[in-house]
Structure 1
Amino acid sequence: MHRGKGMKFVGDSRVHVDRKPNIPKDYSEYPGKTEAFWPNFLLKEWMVGAVFLIGYLCLTIAHPSPLEKLADPTDTGYTPLPDWYFLFLYQLLKYSYASGPYNTIGAFVIPGLAFGGLLLAPFLDRGPERKPSKRIIPTGLMLCGLAATVYLTWEAAAHHDWKKQHEQGKIQNFATLDQADPGYKLLQKNTCVTCHGDNLQGGPAAPALQNANLKSDEVAKIAREGKGGKMPPGVFKGTDAELKTLSEYVEKVSTKK
């Protein structure tokens, strides 16, 4: 009997002969030009993302977010400051062509064009070259955008009053005052608590008197003569004895730890 005699080979056209779903295509004929998306390229992306994620996690552990005092929507003197990755937009709004009547340009138009161009870059630049030196226009635009971001961030950080920022956000513990104290009753009688707060913690129209390190003679002078435009003269209308009691009480409260 001859080998293979009586055997028949049958092919099914519905099944592809070269179908290999778990084996990436051979890109050896295009060295350095392209590669399989799965798993070659995607694995590299995941590895880079994992390195950056671990780096950010280490930064958050080493430098936790600073806490500030409770937000006061009535405090018109508070100067907000965004996080470092938005400082370049914060600095952009300081220039005349992007603030005031042109605030819409600085807040929406310029950032919208920049981020819109970045989003549409893969669709606008469809050339086959991958080397940056051969993609002059997109590479130049990306470098200009990066330089502008770095410059604006540096300008915002260099010209910001960090000392004032720290003081205005500093957490202060205010004690609850005894409202039965004669000195406190004089504060209520002369409407001092209306502006300085029930516990002299300050408000939108007046500073805090707690932890202010005020002297009694200084308090008495301000109560009689006023101070600046917010504290008019003649607010206190009591006797000299009452003024002495009130000023000594404020001195005790302002220096109490």
Structure 2
Amino acid sequence: MKKGKGMQFVGDSRITANKQKFIPKDYSEYPGKTEAFWPNFLLKEWLVGAVFLVGFLSLTMAHPAPLEKMADPTDAAYIPLPDWYFLFLYQLLKYQFASGPYFIMGAVVIPGLAFGGLFLAPFLDNGTKRRPFHRPIATSLMLLGLVSVIWLTWEAAEHVDWEVRAEQNKPVLEEAVEIDKEDPGYEVYSSQACINCHGDNLQGGAAAPSLIGIDRSAEEIMDIAKNGTGSMPAGQFEGSDEELQQLAEFIVSANKEE
């Protein structure tokens, strides 16, 4: 057999003959047409989103969120207000048809229908044209939602004196007071479970007020420990008279060191 004669080439069906990478179409020859979604359009969206994200993070670092004072469940005069982006829902709950016995309407039904309508807008109006007047359903729902949010937010903000409220709700920064935990009165304070409500540094908590900054004598503190006051019931202290005296003197001395 001569060289080159009788040779046969066997093809493998698992290997494609012309394997090419995905190359997006060139839309420059088609005026009025859009560009390829991947990667052209999506890459632009990611870049714009990254710019806004960096700007938002920079803003949060430069201007931290303002905090109000510590929550006090015993303060019945406190009127909570949501942040500005939830003021429209806050205002909605003031109306008679969305409050009181109809609270479910204002808290669940109406917001659910509103956000559900915006979610379904692309499916209800699935025309091929992009101009607003060619998409009446989607445009109407968007305008209705935008006008409602702006108007309700304006109504809620107009009746609030923000400067006065900010001053009233400013956090109260208490100076740290060194507590002598070697004092016999502190041992009584811990053993009588006072520490559970008033804290390990007499700073108070959600269940009881702070014992720092009070202007009471030892006799008054002894009377309160035995007979209670306000939301504190009587009979909380179960120690001896000597322990009660040590406890009262310890609290008085902690306020003198303030």
* Common topology (TM > 0.5): yes
Note the C-alpha offset of 1:123: 1.3
Q: 1:24 aligns with which of 27, 43, 49?
A: 27
Map 1:1-257 → 2, pairs under 5 A: 21-24=24-27, 26-28=29-31, 30=32, 35-38=34-37, 41-42=41-42, 44-65=44-65, 76=73, 85-90=85-90, 92-93=92-93, 97-99=97-99, 101-133=101-133, 135-153=135-153, 155=156, 158=160, 161-163=165-167, 165-167=169-171, 177-178=180-181, 180-185=182-187, 187=189, 192-193=194-195, 195-210=197-212, 213-217=213-217, 220-221=219-220, 223-224=222-223, 229-231=230-232, 246-254=247-255, 256=257
CA deviations 1:104-146 (Å, max 9, x no partner) are 4334322222222122111112345433355555334323322
Residue 223 of structure 1 contacts residue 236 of structure 1 at CA under 8 Å; is this kept in 2?
no
Q: Structure 1's 140 and 232: CA in aligned 2 closer, same or farther, altered over 3 A?
A: same
What is the alpha-carbon distance in structure 2 between the residues aligned to residue 171 and residue 52 of structure 1? 38
Normalization by structure 1: what TM-score?
0.59
CA deviations 1:205-242 (Å, max 9, x no partner) are 321113xx22243x644653678631467877987996
- Matched-pair identity in %: 48
Normalization by structure 2: what TM-score?
0.59
What is the alpha-carbon distance in structure 2 between the residues aligned to residue 256 and residue 81 of structure 1? 37
Partner SS for 2:59: helix
CA deviations 1:44-76 (Å, max 9, x no partner) are 53443233223212212212456789x99xx74
Q: Structure 1's 220 and 188: CA in aligned 2 closer, same or farther, altered over 3 A?
A: farther
Q: Structure 1's 21 and 138: CA in aligned 2 closer, same or farther, altered over 3 A?
A: closer
Q: Structure 1's 192 and 40: CA in aligned 2 closer, same or farther, altered over 3 A?
A: closer
In structure 1, stretches of 5+ residues that fail to align are 1-14
What is the alpha-carbon distance in structure 1 between the residues aligned to residue 44 and residue 24 of structure 2? 21
Q: Structure 1's 108 and 234: CA in aligned 2 closer, same or farther, altered over 3 A?
A: closer
